Amino acid sequence: MLIKRGIAVSPGVIAGPALVLGSEDFRIPNHFVSVDAVETEVGRFRTALDAVARELGDNEQLAGEQLGKQYAQIFAAHLEMARDPGLSSEVENLIRKRCYSPEFASSYVLGRRAKVLQNLDNHFLRERAADVFDLKKRILSHLLGERREELAHLTAPVIVLAHNLTPGETARLNRDSNHFVLGFATEVGGPTSHTAIIAGALEIPAVVGLGNFLSDVSGGETVIIDGNHGEVIIDPDEETLARFRDSEARFRTVVERLESLYTLESKSRDGTRIFLMGNIEFPEEVDHCTQRGADGIGLYRTEFLYLQTRREPTEKDHYNAYRRVVAAFPDKPVVIRTLDLGADKVAPFYGRRTRDPEPGSVLGLRSIRLSLKNLPLFKTQLRAILRAAVEGDVRVMFPLISSLMELRHARMVLSDVMEDLEEQGIPFKRDIQVGMMVEVPAAVVLADDFAREVDFFSIGTNDLIQYTLAVDRSDPAVASLYSSGDPAILRLLRSVVEAGRRHDVAVTVCGQMSSEPIYLPLLVGLGLRQLSVTPHALPELKEVLRNITIEHAEQIAAHALTLELARDVESFLRGELRRMCPDLVL
């Protein structure tokens, strides 16, 4: 049994067989073989190993002829490993003595060897672990041959384990696997990475940022994912499995109890209405929002239209997606955010056209900057938004605005698109509300200036924290420095709320912070009356609201603002929540 701790990013507790997604997506179908078949299986292993050795020999020769001696040496080293008599006797022993299948035995032996190398102090030797993984893949590829399985061929539920999943890959998990993915865990990833956000949208338990653990898993073992506490248990013993069943049942009880809140309005104990809207990435998620009584859509991350397909979406694709969302909320606000591509969100087709600028770092050409450099792409989307807006209370929002110039440029493109639609006689909404994300510290500093030029602000704490504290939101190595409770963040929030009040501009928080129950009293106490949250968080947030008065929330915010350290803010808020809603702290 192996217990790993990481970052909990999507709640729920689940157990199932592991599917290790390597770069080649191998799944080991059988761990054991019958006693009678042992010698045949040993033969199968030897045939595979011989084939690998021949392949490596050929590669060595080819690389030597075409690339030079130093490249040939890479394959020579792999060949030496493949011919190591210690390797074959260890694998064959496991097949004979423990009836392991050759796939499982070779994965087990080579996985262990890689692990030993990975744990060494010597940098050079550590890097050799990659060679061992490479050999493992080659052997598995020969053993599994046509039986190599990928996500698309799943026929039973699995738990996906991977080094990394991009937001696009995560978005496609369900579709590619026919909904057979029960949960997932990754070695990398940060608390508000987009992969984490998508996990929440898929509503499957997930843990990220676990560090190296894949070398300890061969595939097929039972894995428990505890998305509430950020724990992953591989090969659990009986006692742990019993504990898992217990916490799964407790979690289900809380979720079922909260279902009674679905149809209730979200308001504080003293009756003040707090509007809770939903954050969505895919149009289908509107059903989760309507079912749980959301007050509209406060953030529609439209870039996922790009991340899910292999071709560039057309105006019609945009329009159809937006209409689906508006149809679910014909009388409530639907805030459509324009493309926030770039950084970790890269479309599969992106970069194929020579005109496309390279996507890159979080400080690079992403989001509104990218849209403004790609006007045809941007205009296509704006046309669809303006057209869909005829059917409801649609509002448009620009992400990552960092200067007035940028905002004005985006607004000018919007006006141009309106003119085009006008000329073409296509119905659209001219008086659409225009808002901006406040997610760059510069936007907070200049909030009074921005407030004169927009109808609403939506605070994106995910990026605001990243840029204010200089902590990459996707990097688990600095996850402990990434805190919504940081005093600097609290003051920035207060400052935006005050600017909004001065200019009568509505302010929402749509970053992950607003989906976390511990921050809700603080946000309400700071004066926020509308929030946009992950749909699965709606019921528990309603529950918190129903247990707090505005006066109490204001006291909590006032006290939190006097604290000097993020960890003091967090533990104070956690203590307050525990007192108000003891059942919620799972």
Q: Whose Cβ is closer to ligand PEP: residue 402's or residue 547's?
A: 402
Q: Whose Cβ is closer to ligand PEP: residue 218's or residue 338's?
A: 338
Q: Which of residues 52-111 bind Mg ion (CB under 5 A)?
A: none
To Mg ion, the closest distance from the beta carbon of 194 in angstroms equals 9
Place of tokens 């003040």: 272
Q: Which of 106, 195, 461, 515 binds ligand PEP (CB under 6 A)?
A: 461
C-alpha distances out from residue 433 to 58, 292, 348, 475, Å: 65, 26, 32, 35
Structure tokens that stand for 381 in this block: 């989307």
Q: What is the DSSP string of 391-409?
A: GTEEEEEESS--SHHHHHH
Q: Whose Cβ is closer to Mg ion: residue 187's or residue 439's?
A: 439
Rule CB under 6 A: is residue 469 a binding residue for ligand PEP?
no
Q: Which of 174, 462, 483, 515 binds ligand PEP (CB under 6 A)?
A: 462
Rule CB under 6 A: is residue 511 a binding residue for ligand PEP?
yes
Q: Which of residues 310-349 bind ligand PEP (CB under 6 A)?
A: 340
Rule CB under 6 A: is residue 439 a binding residue for ligand PEP?
yes
Phi-psi domain of 145 (left: phi exceeds 0; alpha: psi -120 through 50; beta: other): left
Q: Which of 12, 191, 460, 535 binds ligand PEP (CB under 6 A)?
A: 460
Residue nearest to ligand PEP (CB): 460
Rule CB under 6 A: is residue 366 a binding residue for ligand PEP?
no
Structure tokens that stand for 238 in this block: 């009986």
Alpha helices in 389-479 (DSSP H): 404-424, 441-445, 447-451, 461-469
Please choose, out of 132-140, 261-269, 457-465, 555-563, the segment that lies near ligand PEP by the rule CB under 6 A: 457-465
Q: Which of 60, 439, 472, 570 binds Mg ion (CB under 5 A)?
A: 439
CA angle 427-433-439, nearest 5°?
130
C-alpha distances out from residue 256 to 249, 251, 439, 461, Å: 10, 9, 35, 30
Q: Whose Cβ is closer to ligand PEP: residue 218's or residue 515's?
A: 515
CB atoms within 10 A of CB 506: 18
**Binding string to ligand PEP for residues 187 to 206, with x set by CB under 6 A, is what?**
----------x---------
Structure tokens that stand for 166 in this block: 């991009």
Structure tokens that stand for 285 in this block: 């998620």
Q: Whose Cβ is closer to ligand PEP: residue 42's or residue 206's?
A: 206
Binding residues for Mg ion, how many (CB under 5 A)? 3
Sheet holding 206-208, edge to edge: 2-5, 231-234, 222-226, 13-21, 158-162, 181-186, 206-208, 7-10
Rule CB under 6 A: is residue 540 a binding residue for ligand PEP?
no
Whole-angstrom distance, CA of residue 405 vs CA of residue 288: 37
Q: Which of residues 443-462 bind Mg ion (CB under 5 A)?
A: 460
Number of residues assigned to the chain: 586
The set of residues, in sequence order, having a beta carbon less than 8 Å from that of 510 and lying 6+ positions away, is 279, 298, 299, 437, 458, 459, 460, 531, 532, 533
Q: Which of 295, 406, 463, 472 binds ligand PEP (CB under 6 A)?
A: 463
- Among the listed residues 194, 288, 536, 552, the single catalytic one is 194
Whole-angstrom distance, CA of residue 175 vs CA of residue 313: 18
**Annotation marks residue 510 as catalytic:** yes
Q: Whose Cβ is closer to Mg ion: residue 82's or residue 343's?
A: 343
- Among the listed residues 318, 510, 536, 552, the single catalytic one is 510
Rule CB under 6 A: is residue 516 a binding residue for ligand PEP?
no
CA angle 165-304-296, nearest 5°?
125
Please choose, out of 183-191, 327-335, 455-463, 493-501, the segment that lies near ligand PEP by the rule CB under 6 A: 455-463
Contact 362, 343 (CB under 8 A): yes
To ligand PEP, the closest distance from the beta carbon of 197 in angstroms equals 6
To ligand PEP, the closest distance from the beta carbon of 522 in angstroms equals 16
Question: For residues 515-545, b (16+ Cβ closer than 10 Å) or e, as one string?
Answer: bbbbbbbbbbbbbbbbbbbbbbbbbbbbbbb
**Binding string to ligand PEP for residues 265 to 304, with x set by CB under 6 A, is what?**
----------------------------------x-x---
From start to end of 196-291, where are the E strands? Answer: 206-208, 222-226, 231-234, 275-280
Q: Whose Cβ is closer to Mg ion: residue 136's or residue 345's?
A: 345
**Annotation marks residue 99 as catalytic:** no
Q: Whose Cβ is closer to ligand PEP: residue 205's or residue 511's?
A: 511
Rule CB under 5 A: is residue 472 a binding residue for Mg ion?
no
Binding site for ligand PEP (CB under 6 A): 197, 299, 301, 340, 439, 460-463, 510-511
Active-site residues: which are they? 194, 510
List of residues contacting Mg ion (CB under 5 A): 439, 460, 463
